[in-house]
Amino acid sequence: MERVDGGTTAPMRARRRLVRWARWGGATGDPRGGSPWTRGRVLAVLAVLTAGLLVFHRAVPNSPGHVGSLLETFLPWLGVVVVALLGLALLRRSALALVSLLLPVAAWTYLFGGLFPPGAEPGPRDLVVVQHNVSDENADPAGTARALADAGPDLIALEELVPSALPVYEKTLAPDYPYHAVRGTVGLWSRHPLTDARPLDIKPQGIAEGWNRGLRTTVHTPHGAIAAYVAHLPSVRVRATGLASSWRDESAGLLGAAIAAEKRDRVVLLGDLNGTVDDRGLAPLTSRMNVAERGFAFSFPASFPLARIDQVMARSATVGHIRALPATGSDHLPVAARIAWR
């Protein structure tokens, strides 16, 4: 047998590497790798940390870089981390890691498990709404309008309406939605009469004049009047330094103050809020309004949805099941939801 490295044979080196792997706790099941209750301590620590992030995500500081908001934007995806840790725990045959994983599983289920059951069918007094950022680069506004109308909602809220496409939406939606109001780049189409439509000032400081992304109007439904808000908050960007969301947060504060001052008891908010309902940046809204009780409805980006930044919220009402509709010519997916008035 050939000898190398001063008398150590290649088979001997291979055997030593195998022994080291077993002692580290590999999947060989060798007793020298430790018992199932001593292997996988790193995995157990990671499981506890994941559970901590899920339960105490509000405790994660938001500076520098809005790290807390960034975590909360993708908070449901920590479930993927849990699944990965489960696979590694099984590979390591670590009872310690498997037991530790009960913590993040319980935390994730508590936070998001309730979103899975389907919602009940709309009742006769319920309002069905659709929210969609149609994109200012949409090459098929007529097809987009038809797809939204086919969902049969009572209200359709649109953002990123550009002058060239607006007449197309008006013409296509007119047969089923004879009432509409547009202010700036946002609009609302309705089966029921609209009154008191006016622009809503949610422009943060530092944004140039002419930026108009807010609308407030009154919808006169067969079961009473409601105040309807349509908003498109400033975009956020994920950068190496964190989440750039200062303008979005400021605009959310202005919108929240307007809703707090709203005299009507019944309020619905539809819009591209550029944030998830878990994001603390939207706290001025989520602290005052109810969010969807069922459904994930990830809406952005349309090619591979990672988060729902298109929202339906209501006051003095329950937002039932929310779902994403099929893709249109936009980079967002439309979302549809049912609002049950109290």
Q: Which helix (H) or strand (E) holds 315?
A: strand 310-315
141-150 helix and 166-173 helix, angle to the nearest 10 degrees: 30
Distance in angstroms between the alpha carbons of the first and the last residue of the chain: 85
The tokens of 119 are what?
A: 């919602």
Burial bucket for residue 26 (CB in 10 Å: 0-12, 13-18, 19+): middle
Residue 270 CA to residue 311 CA, distance in Å, equals: 6
DSSP 164: T
pLDDT in tens, the chain (342 residues): 444 455 567 667 766 665 554 444 444 444 445 778 888 999 999 999 999 999 999 999 988 889 999 999 999 999 999 999 999 999 999 999 999 999 999 999 999 998 887 766 667 678 999 999 999 999 999 999 999 999 999 999 999 999 999 999 999 999 999 999 999 999 999 999 999 999 999 999 989 888 999 999 999 999 999 999 999 999 998 877 778 899 999 999 999 999 999 999 999 999 999 999 999 999 999 999 999 999 999 999 999 999 999 999 999 999 999 999 999 999 999 999 999 987
pTM of the full structure:
0.85
At 7 the pLDDT is 55
Q: CA-based diameter of the chain, in Å?
A: 94
Beta bridge partners of 214: 231
Residue 41 CA to residue 61 CA, distance in Å, equals: 27
Domain boundaries, the chain: 35-115, 127-341
Residue 245 CA to residue 247 CA, distance in Å, equals: 6
Query: What's the residue count for the chain?
Result: 342
Q: Domain 127-341 falls in which CATH fold? A: Deoxyribonuclease I; Chain A (3.60.10)
- Comparing CA positions, the residue from 236, 301, 233, 246 lying closest to residue 272 is 233
